[in-house]
Amino acid sequence: MRYFFLGIKGVGVVGLATLYREWGNDVLGSDTEEKFFTDRILADLHIPVVSFDVAHVTSDINVLIYSSAYSEPHPQVTRARELGIVCKSYAEALAEIFNAKTGILVTGTHGKTTSTAMLGRVLEDADLDPTVVCGGELIEWGYTARAGKSELVVAEGDEYQAKILALKPHFVLLTNIEYDHPDFYLDEEAYRGVFRTLLQTLSGTDIVVAHENLRNFVDTSTQAKKIYFGQGADSMKLSVWGAHNKTNALGVLALSMFLGIPQEHAAATLAKFRGTRRRMELYTPEDADIVLIDDYAHHPTEIRETLHAVREHYPSRTIIAAFQPHTYSRTRALLDDFAQAFGDADHIIILDIYASARERDRSISGEDLFHAVEKNHKSVIFAFSPEDASEKAKKLLKPQSVLVALGAGDVWRVVRNLKEMALK
């Protein structure tokens, strides 16, 4: 089969492209010329990336799969339909793979990517040969996905736009629930409702593994068998930092035991798990005089957890947090919580908002967040761009300091720029 992926550099889409390529199909795709970390994955898999020119959509293509970033009618989708090519959204294509196998869905507000990656590694080490689709690149694999041959498939489930409801899992690992995506869910009840609806689809033979804080919610939402986790974090030995990662590991351990993997085997894999890109990813050795870290944290709780983990690891170092808000709606809805999320940082750099093309209401700005943070912290700076933030961070960096870039946009450019500056 010949597959064409529109928006192939996206982290989810590149995962599906990886699976189809590894399963022996002919794969190509289109995207912008902007550089992404996925460029390396695509080059490694020898997957061509072309422009959005409709001439690249040819009659020998069997299926076109398009990223959710292109929800509006796109010329390449229009051309594909004119040629009679089957067109599917990313969510539809993922559901087709997932629902044909014994599906394990990892979902929740925080910790999805790390938990999915951890579980994928545990199943791999147990010789269960899973197919895995993760929302980040596993450092140990160098890919965001793994093409297995068994009936097990593990997928990170995105609650945004209720995409998880297309998936029909036999197992659900529910990490936590905390209000997010205010551009789609008007309030917390609506947000919790998508998880409730998911759990209501499960039968009595399905399994839900959830944090014990969600016991009441899960008990009243599903007839599936329930397993709760949350105790024993202090005894977990991990290579990745932070209490939140110990909690992620507890959930994976609980599900792994149910799948018949001996606890000591799963714990051994988790102990050596190296993490995923953009989740407290070190750009320097951890004992360097100046340490550079990149993290995807884009919700107040995630910022707190990441900075607290860094503070625990470096109790006496100066910590500089460079945060790029992601979406106007999230910044507006959670402004007060964001303003109080940086307690473990000595210096804070607030960047302008990384916008979503879907948003129309832009009546809040990064400067509004800067002023809100300024009320709670003595040392706060505003930066207009990652390049501006890099220059301002460079002036703050001294021996025995740590710079943490935080956000779901392109704030990773700050640590990349600083690393390049250090090499000059």
Q: pLDDT tens, position by position, for the chain (424 residues)?
A: 999 999 999 999 999 999 999 999 999 999 999 888 899 999 999 999 999 999 999 999 999 999 988 866 899 999 999 999 999 999 999 999 999 999 999 999 999 999 999 999 999 999 999 999 999 999 999 999 999 999 999 999 999 989 999 999 999 999 999 999 999 999 999 999 999 999 999 999 999 999 999 999 999 999 999 999 999 888 899 999 999 999 999 999 999 999 999 999 999 999 999 999 999 999 999 999 999 999 999 999 999 999 999 999 999 999 999 999 999 999 999 999 999 999 999 999 999 999 876 777 889 999 999 999 999 999 999 999 999 999 999 999 999 999 999 999 999 999 999 999 876 5
Cβ neighbours, 10 Å, residue 58: 14
DSSP-based helix, strand, coil % in the chain, nearest 5: 40, 20, 40
Using CA atoms, how far apart are residues 262 and 256, in angstroms rounded to an integer? 8
Reduce the DSSP state of residue 105 to 3 states and report it. strand
Using CA atoms, how far apart are residues 419 and 177, in angstroms rounded to an integer? 36
Using CA atoms, how far apart are residues 123 and 74, in angstroms rounded to an integer? 39
Cβ-contact 299, 109 below 8 angstroms: yes
Cβ-contact 404, 306 below 8 angstroms: yes
Phi, psi of 325, deg, nearest 5: -60, 145
What pLDDT does residue 357 have? 67
Using CA atoms, how far apart are residues 236 and 248, in angstroms rounded to an integer? 11
Using CA atoms, how far apart are residues 332 and 362, in angstroms rounded to an integer? 10
Q: Provide the H-helix boundaries in 234-351.
A: 243-258, 263-272, 300-313, 328-333, 335-339
* Alpha carbons within 13 A on the beta-carbon side of 395: 7
Which among 353, 344, 419 has a CA at the least distance from the CA of 384?
353
Contacts of 325 (CB under 8 A, 6+ apart): 298, 331, 338, 350, 351, 352, 353, 354, 366, 369, 407
Reduce the DSSP state of residue 317 to 3 states and report it. coil
- Separation of first and last alpha carbons in the chain: 47
Cβ-contact 386, 414 below 8 angstroms: yes
Reduce the DSSP state of residue 406 to 3 states and report it. strand
Element housing 43 (H / E): helix 38-44
The residue behind tokens 């407290």 is: 280
**Per DSSP, what are the bridge partners of residue 172?**
105, 208
pTM, two decimals, is 0.92
**Distance between alpha carbon 28 and the CA centroid of its chain, in Å?**
24
User: Exposed (0-12), middle (13-18) or buried (19+): which is 167, by Cβ within 10 Å?
Assistant: buried
What pLDDT does residue 360 have? 78
Using CA atoms, how far apart are residues 383 and 393, in angstroms rounded to an integer? 10
Reduce the DSSP state of residue 386 to 3 states and report it. helix
Bridging pattern class, strands 281-282 and 290-295: antiparallel
